[in-house]
């Protein structure tokens, strides 16, 4: 595949064959070679063949092979003749990250971290198939899927001020629970407030470095501060919604006369019956995922209160932001000098809106949207901010994490979970994991260098560094 180096941090796949637009990848030379090896670039080119795609098929520096779309893929589609694709959102709908801050200095409470991590692991159900502590009545599942976080806060899980620190105010409009299958409901019914497995985690962190003091002040972040990062998604409900609609979309694409370069790119016109139904069901899964994180936030606050013998309010345990990185959204963007409404797919990519944007919470509007980028559990994570350049270059998008370089099976073959746990604890990182096998799958060696990925986004201008956070303790499924 021919590649054109636009600059050291942006590459282009020229438009050829059935491609309607070029492909563009934010990466350096080394990461481009890795993407080429695992054929993720072919997926970028395939997405460029879909009807109604605008400007370019994009990928972030954490790009790796995914279902249909590469993970790290971004694509915007015209509302009139474009499509919506479950493969452009992914199976873990609204998988995302939230960051909580405290007024505690990590060096002053270092001795309490092992006990805190233990309490978090006791309070938050983690692992495949684990049930949550929230008991819903049958009709309440519809309320949760339609109304999202404001509804779950009304049930006592959180504070009203949390709503202003969540993307879309915690509830994506357009959800229709009648379009979520009985099987999806069954899978999700007992899972609000559960971490799951894979790369999901609850992590106690310390702010190691501040790069932008103005933005950090706006976000309530300071050096040596103790924070908690939470990474989770829509669990079995979201997975089943994707499964159900992938099956529906194949025939829908054929009826619409859409020729697919890869059947995993099954899609339907945005305005079609299938397109509208998928979006409405996806919105239910988005709201479910955000409620899942909100219930766990309540458990985190309870854990802090138990360990520190003080209220969450006194500890300053406040939500900085919650952002999803597997979602399709209807947004306004400037294209060709005019404002147009588009359906923007972000699969393993994070929204990165600039200062002044009306979709940024008012309290952060002067600084720009917080962007939360988890790394691996042995290195670091980052807090970034959105930029004007992102709106011009990437439909207001940036990376979502480090990105895998090694499959889970390969990681298990190369790494022993108990040895990894010992190594992390020798680094001063307390680890609680449901299984050593699952821990091995998420070893730092299985991921790209998050410092490199974030540096590329910073230098490309699609997000700017605010703070670096180092892990002190982690809970894994």
Beta bridge partners, 470, equal 206
User: Alpha-carbon distance 427 to 429, whole Å?
Assistant: 6
Q: Quote the strand ranges of 1-41, DSSP E.
A: 4-7, 10-13, 23-25
Residue given tokens 């092979």 in the structure block: 65
DSSP state of 163: G
User: Alpha-carbon distance 435 to 91, whole Å?
Assistant: 23
Burial group, residue 140, by CB count within 10 angstroms (0-12, 13-18, 19+): middle
Q: Can 345 be counted among the known catalytic residues?
A: no
Residue given tokens 């936030």 in the structure block: 297
DSSP state of 317: -
Candidates 242, 278, 271; CA nearest to 256 is: 271
Residue given tokens 């339609």 in the structure block: 146
Q: For the chain, what's the residue count? A: 477
Provide the 10 A C-beta neighbour count for residue 172: 24
Decide if 72 contacts 62 (C-beta within 8 A). Answer: yes
User: Alpha-carbon distance 59 to 38, whole Å?
Assistant: 14
User: Alpha-carbon distance 165 to 19, whole Å?
Assistant: 39
Decide if 25 contacts 456 (C-beta within 8 A). Answer: no
**253 contact partners, CB below 8 Å, separation of at least 6:** 83, 260, 266, 267, 268
CA angle 107, 108, 112 (to 5 degrees): 95
Active-site residue among 239, 325, 345, 400? 400
3-class DSSP state for residue 196? coil
What is the separation of C-alpha 37 from the centre of its chain, rounded to a whole number of angstroms?
Answer: 25
User: Alpha-carbon distance 70 to 89, whole Å?
Assistant: 10
Contacts by residues 118-121 (CB-CB < 8 Å, ≥ 24 positions apart): 118/432, 119/303, 119/306, 119/307, 120/202, 120/204, 120/299, 120/300, 120/303, 120/432, 120/473, 120/475, 121/432, 121/475
User: Alpha-carbon distance 199 to 182, whole Å?
Assistant: 27
Provide the 10 A C-beta neighbour count for residue 155: 17
Q: Which are the catalytic amino acids?
A: 400
């Amino acid at each position: 595949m021919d590649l054109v180096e636009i600059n050291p941090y942006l590459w282009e796949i020229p438009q050829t064959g059935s491609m309607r637009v070029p492909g563009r990848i934010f990466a350096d030379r080394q990461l481009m070679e890795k993407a080429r090896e695992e054929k993720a670039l072919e997926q970028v080119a395939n997405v460029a063949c879909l009807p109604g795609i605008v400007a370019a098929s994009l990928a972030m520096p954490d790009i790796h092979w995914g279902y249909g779309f590469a993970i790290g893929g971004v694509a915007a589609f015209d509302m009139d003749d474009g499509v919506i694709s479950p493969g452009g959102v992914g199976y873990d709908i609204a998988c995302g990250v939230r960051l909580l801050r405290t007024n505690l200095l990590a060096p002053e409470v270092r001795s309490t971290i092992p006990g805190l991590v233990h309490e978090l692991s006791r309070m938050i159900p983690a692992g495949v198939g684990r049930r949550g502590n929230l008991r819903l009545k049958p009709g309440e599942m519809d309320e949760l899927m339609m109304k999202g976080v404001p509804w779950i806060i009304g049930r006592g899980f959180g504070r009203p001020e949390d709503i202003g620190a969540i993307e879309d105010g915690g509830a994506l409009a357009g959800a229709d629970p009648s379009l979520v299958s009985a099987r999806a409901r069954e899978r999700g019914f007992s899972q609000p407030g559960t971490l799951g497995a894979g790369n999901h985690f609850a992590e106690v962190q310390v702010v190691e470095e501040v790069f932008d003091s103005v933005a950090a002040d706006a976000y309530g972040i300071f050096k040596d501060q103790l924070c908690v990062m939470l990474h989770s998604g829509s669990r079995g409900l979201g997975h089943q919604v994707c499964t159900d609609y992938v099956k529906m979309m194949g025939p829908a694409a054929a009826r619409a006369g859409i020729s697919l370069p890869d059947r995993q790119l099954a899609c339907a016109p945005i305005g079609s019956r299938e397109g509208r139904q998928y979006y409405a069901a996806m919105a239910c899964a988005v709201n479910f995922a955000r409620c899942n994180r909100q219930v766990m936030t309540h458990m985190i606050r309870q854990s802090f209160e138990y360990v520190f013998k003080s209220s969450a309010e006194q500890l300053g345990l406040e939500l900085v932001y919650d952002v999803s990185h597997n979602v399709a959204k209807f947004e306004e963007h400037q294209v060709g000098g005019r404002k147009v409404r588009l359906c923007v797919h972000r699969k393993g990519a994070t929204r990165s809106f600039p200062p002044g944007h009306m979709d940024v919470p008012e309290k952060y509007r002067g600084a720009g949207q917080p962007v939360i980028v988890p790394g691996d559990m042995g290195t670091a994570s980052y807090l970034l901010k959105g930029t004007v350049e992102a709106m011009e270059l990437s439909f207001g998008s940036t990376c979502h994490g480090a990105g895998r370089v090694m499959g889970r099976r390969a990681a298990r073959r190369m790494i022993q979970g108990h040895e990894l746990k010992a190594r992390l604890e020798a680094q001063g990182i307390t680890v609680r994991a449901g299984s050593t096998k699952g821990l091995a799958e998420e070893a730092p060696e299985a991921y790209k260098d998050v410092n490199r990925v974030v540096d590329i986004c910073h230098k490309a201008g699609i997000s700017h560094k605010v703070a670096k956070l180092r892990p002190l303790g982690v809970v894994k499924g």
